[in-house]
Structure 1
Amino acid sequence: MTSNTTAAPARPAVSWLPVVMLALGAFCAGTDNYLIAGILSDMSRDLHMPVAAGGLFVTAYSLAYAVGSPVVLTLVRVRSPRRLLLAAIAAFVVVNLLAAVAWAPWVMTVARIVAGCLAGLYSPLAAAAAAGMVPAHRRGRALAIVMGGISVATLAGVPIGVWIAHLWSWRTAFVFVAALAVVATAGIALSVTASGAAPSASFRQRVAPLRRPAVLLALVVTIAGMCAGLMVYTYVEPIFAAAPAVGAGAVGALIMAHGFGALIGLGFGSSLVDRFGSRPVLLGTLTVFTADMALLPLASHTLVTTFAFVFVWGVVGWAFLPAQQHSMIADAPPEQPPMLLSLNGSAMYFGIALGSAIGGAVIAGLGAGRIWTFATAFAAVAVLLSLVRHTRVTSGRSGRRR
């Protein structure tokens, strides 16, 4: 007896090497941005500048990234996105070597601004390339791998860079990033194939969603949340090195604990949204984050509680991002989700820039002990604005039903 059923054709095997190489480039970008938090004191001392001013290097990188993603990608026109991708990551090697040999603050500032622009250019191109090289049913995983490179940077890249800096010099930490970028450049050149035309949306199209008040409110929530977290994270070394229960020797481990929490938060944030919806996850994580920022000064009286609260900060401080992204695109027109996600990415880095700048001003003017008050206040603003936004969105839906 023969069966009339026909076996389903086997799906072609997927090569994940190109995606991994693209993720390595994202890992370099993430490490490069957050690395300064662990080497801030030594770098500032070597460049003859206050620690609070040294934190502005994070501001320069993040602000350049925030502008670089929508603006530079719109201005740069090439036939081959692969060439632009390779040019961005190869130039990343050069600017990190420039940072490693920086002999004055202005040289480091130039290096950070250019690096931020290159990261803002690389990230969307890498995501698009990864999605285009795998079958449709694997695109979600490919995007998660590439963008996960940034979160893994907080878990592994930054602690390794800080460890290298403590062994030799803060300058060797940038050499470490440059070396990783060399590997990423070679890997992308050898494994990533040519793809279609580069994104051709105009700047007006990219910022069109800003005409919607709900989008503006959502972006301000992202800015406030990231500002609160990075206000502390940028200066985590001088803040916790001065805590009697922590000390400078534990800062690298604290950064790793935060990174491990961030990885868990990003991983489970989407699952929680799928199960409970974006609103409770967003409000819940931001509320816990606010409480964590308010209580961390008390927790830092013992090493164990400090690690516990920093870990929770990493979890909730990053878990709100998938919920925020989901809430932004839930009711968006079909053509707008890519633009909304790009704007939200820019808002993230604008929040990082704002947080590092405000944190530096607070430390310089009021002392590191007052930074928790400002971080808690910005986190609370994120909660309140999120409540306002969800109330307006819910009211709008009810009005449309009538």
Structure 2
Amino acid sequence: MAGLLPDVAGDLNVTESSAGQMVTVFTLCYALAAPFFATALAGRPAKVVLAVALAVFTLGNALTALAPALPVLLLARALAGIGAGVYSPMAAATAAGLAGPERRGRSLALVMGGMSIGTVVGVPIGVLLAEQVGWRGTLWLITGLGALALAGIAALLPRTEAAPPPPLRERARILTDGRVAGIAFVSLLGGVASLGLYTYLAPVLEDAAHLDQNVWALWAWGAGGVLGSLLVGPLVDRTKRPFTVVGAVLLLVVLAHLALPTAAPAAWALVVPLVVWGAAGWALQVPQQHQLIAAQPRHSAVAVSLNSSAVYLGSAIGSALGGMVLAAGLRPASLPYCTAALAALGLVLHLTVVRRFSRRTVDDGDETGVTTPAAAPRASAARR
């Protein structure tokens, strides 16, 4: 929807900052739905949960295409966000479970690669299609693709045994575990910085480089996302150092955002920070999910859903704050400096708070762990 903001705003006679709140509503409902439904639906077959989630998501997109005014549009995006919030973490946990621990990074990268390819293809094509059939026509295409994906899940996904739902005390322990909370908070800051800025990429480029045609910039960002999400999984599997990979990725996000306003006037130079930003932003969640699954191997779906919730809560916060600061008069070209500072804060917390908690546990491939008697049974379970 980020690429369609100008069209939606013009059609509904609202400002772009107001139209941008449909991204806020979507991501906020995504964030709230993920942990709640992961707990409520725990124990049900993954195939059933994924199919229901896709059905809700598809219905939300259909209602978006029919929305006559902004309030209805926001309600429709909320419904779509709930469906996406249930689907994405369950997809990651299911893929990791089907692949096994030795190929966990590759399986998570495959799921994230599908999402990034959908973005790199979907956003620019959506913009081009909207020029021909309007933004509503684009949403009808998305609705049709959602129905096709639903049919694919029903026909192709094997039915697997569901893990028993964790008791309430165990769920609370997962949510209050210091290491899990630290990883999730870093993911939240990454979402604020990366996805929050992406929501307003069009006005940022228009202000910084006077570009009113930004489809090529969306392609560049998305192409980087595909590369990052597909390459990071094998990298994590090979190095067994997800902690180090997260630190490097966050540093790249900071550098790319700082370079964006300076490089914007020259199109050839702007491609570099866009590709790096897209690659790093999409790559971040694979090692994060890897660490969470290793930290909570028995309840990986709950842990991954918490991280997914944090990412999209960050996106909701980022798009909301971005709309507020732009409405308050900040130049859009200055927005990347703000998001770079938030990504830098995430890097600092990763290198301090997360490292401190990581030293108390042992997990698959985290070089910061130190074996302790209390951690040994969980490490053994993670290896199995």
TM-score calculated relative to the size of structure 2 = 0.84
Once the two structures are superposed, residues 245-299 of structure 1 have per-residue CA deviations (whole angstroms, 9 ceiling, x without a partner) of: 5x222x1221111111111112222333332723332222212211221121011
Q: Write the mapping of 1:96-135 to structure 2, written as runs, cut at 5 A.
A: 96-127=61-92
| Match 1:335 to one of 289, 293, 298 | 298
Equivalent position of 2:177 in the other structure: 212
CA distance in 2, matches of 1:135, 1:286: 27
CA distance, structure 1, for counterparts of residue 182 and residue 44 of structure 2: 36
Determine if contact 1:74/1:202 at 8 Å carries over to the other structure. Answer: no
Equivalent position amino acid for 1:343 in 2: L
Unaligned runs of 5+ in 2: 361-368, 374-384
Q: Which residue of 1 aligns with 2:51?
A: 86
Distance 2:164 2:24 in 1: 27
2-side partners of 1:207 and 1:263: how far apart? 35
Is residue 39–residue 237 contact of structure 1 (8 Å, CA) maintained in 2? no
Q: Which amino acid aligns with 1:349?
A: Y
CA distance in 1, matches of 2:168, 2:216: 42
One-letter amino acid matched to 1:171: R
Name the amino acid aligned to 1:177.
I
**Residue equivalent to 1:345:** 308
1:183-194 equivalence runs, <5 A: 183-192=148-157, 194=159
- Which residue does 2:215 correspond to in 1? 252
Closer, same or farther: CA 253–111 of 1 in aligned 2, 3 Å = same
2:240 and 2:100 mapped to 1: Cα distance? 29
- Asked if the contact 1:294–1:376 (Cα under 8 Å) also holds between the matched residues in 2, the reply is yes
**Offset of residue 324 of structure 1:** 2.6
Shift of 1:53: 1.8
Q: Would the alpha carbon gap of residues 379 and 98 (structure 1) be closer, same or farther in structure 2, given more than 3 Å must change?
A: same
Query: Alpha-carbon deviation of 1:375?
Result: 0.6
**Higher CA-based Rg:** 1
AA at the equivalent of 2:324: A
Within 1, Cα distance between the matches of 2:12 and 2:334? 26
Decide which of 232, 241, 258 is 2:206's aligned counterpart.
Answer: 241
Work out whether residues 39 and 170 of structure 1, in 8 Å CA contact, stay in contact via their aligned partners in 2: yes
Of residues 239, 251, 269 in structure 1, which corresponds to 2:232? 269
- Amino acid in structure 2 at the alignment position of 1:298: T
CA RMSD, aligned part only? 3.0
How big is each residue's C-alpha offset from its partner over 1:346-375, in whole Å with a ceiling of 9 and x where there is no partner? 111111111111111111112313312321
Note if contact 1:262-1:319 (Cα within 8 Å) is conserved in structure 2: yes
Q: How far is the alpha carbon of 1:238 from its aligned partner? A: 1.9
- Contact residue 70 and residue 203 of structure 1 kept, 8 A: no
Identical aligned residues as a percent: 36
Check if 1:281 corresponds to 2:281.
no
Confirm or deny: 8 A CA contact 2:207 2:333 kept in the other structure: no
From 311, 327, 331, give the equivalent of 1:367.
331
Q: Deviations over 1:119-142 (max 9, x none)?
A: 122234445665677899887766
Give the match for residue 131 of structure 2: 166
Q: Provide the rounded CA distance (Å) in 2 between the counterparts of 1:115 and 1:45.
A: 22
2:166 is paired with a residue of what secondary structure? coil
CA distance in 1, matches of 2:208, 2:132: 23
State which drifts further: 182-191 or 48-57.
Answer: 182-191
Give the Cα–Cα distance (whole angstroms) in 1 for the partners of residues 55 and 22 of structure 2: 21
Gaps of 5+ in 1: 1-35
